[in-house]
Amino acid sequence: MSTMDELSGRVALITGGARGIGRGIALKLAQAGADLVINYLEREDAAHEVADWVRGMGRRVMLAKADVCDEDQVAEMFGNIATEFGHLDILVNNVGPFLVRKVLKMSVEEWNLMLAANLTSAFLVAREAAKLFGRTESGGSMVFIGAPNAERIGSQSESCAYSIAKTGVVILALTLARDLGDKNIRVNVINPGYIENDSMTPSMREWMPHEVPLGRVGTPANVGDAVLYLVSDRAAYVNGAVINIHGGLWV
């Protein structure tokens, strides 16, 4: 089987799949034959653009507007997935906003948002996904998107809440890898480094490459390639792995 159809017949949900890393992952999985559920909250135009690309590849696609921090909206989204597809095979927990703020200048609302959007959302979505995975004997695969070296982050002066949440994401994923393994559900983590996105300022584009041993920032497609490997049968014995995709940053 070629990489063009190795995910044929499988359904993949990508949270935050309309932009940036999520969009790069969505296109890679569609190219490999998967039908997609693209979750988004804002930028409906971007979500429809991705959906058009996916349909152009001959894949089925469902757009799912939902706040994945909200338990009721998550439950409704998965109910719609069950109605549309009947099962789910792949989950990519990609949602994860970033905030630069020193701890003592951070509001409670900002603190709660970082933990809810990065960590609680991953828990809510994974819990529901496991139920749909259980509808087939083939199990499934979850990939959680963390942060550079999130499994061993130290003190972070200006991104404390975000870093705590992303370290929590790794712990959550590794716990699920153990708890769901007997159901043939594999759970792994990808920690991206500096990845090209539309929020990068000219200043960031100038200094970021100089911090990376490979001398360049990554692309969403670089992350997408790693996700494709982890959710494919080529990674059938990969469970509980934490892979840093950061060009050597923080080595």
Mean pLDDT of 110-122: 92
Q: Could you give the percent of the chain with pLDDT greater than 70?
A: 93
Residue 109, pLDDT score: 92
Q: Place 154 in a pLDDT band, splitting at 50, 70 and 90.
A: low
Angle (CA) 161 198 81, round 5°: 75
Mean pLDDT of 17-22: 93
Catalogue the E-assigned strands of the chain: 11-14, 35-40, 61-65, 90-93, 140-145, 185-192, 242-245
Give tens-digit pLDDT for 5-16: 899 999 999 999
Answer yes or no: is pLDDT of 51 > 90.
Answer: yes
Helix (H, G, I), strand (E, B) or coil at 107: coil
Give tens-digit pLDDT for 188-210: 999 999 998 877 888 888 898 88
Comparing CA positions, the residue from 198, 186, 183, 197 lying closest to residue 144 is: 186
* Predicted TM-score (pTM) of this structure: 0.93
Residue 53, pLDDT score: 94
Residue 1, pLDDT score: 44
Set out the domains of the chain in order of their start, with CATH numbers.
Answer: 11-245 (3.40.50.720)
Judge whether 237 counts as a catalytic residue.
no
Catalytic residue among 40, 162, 194, 237: 162
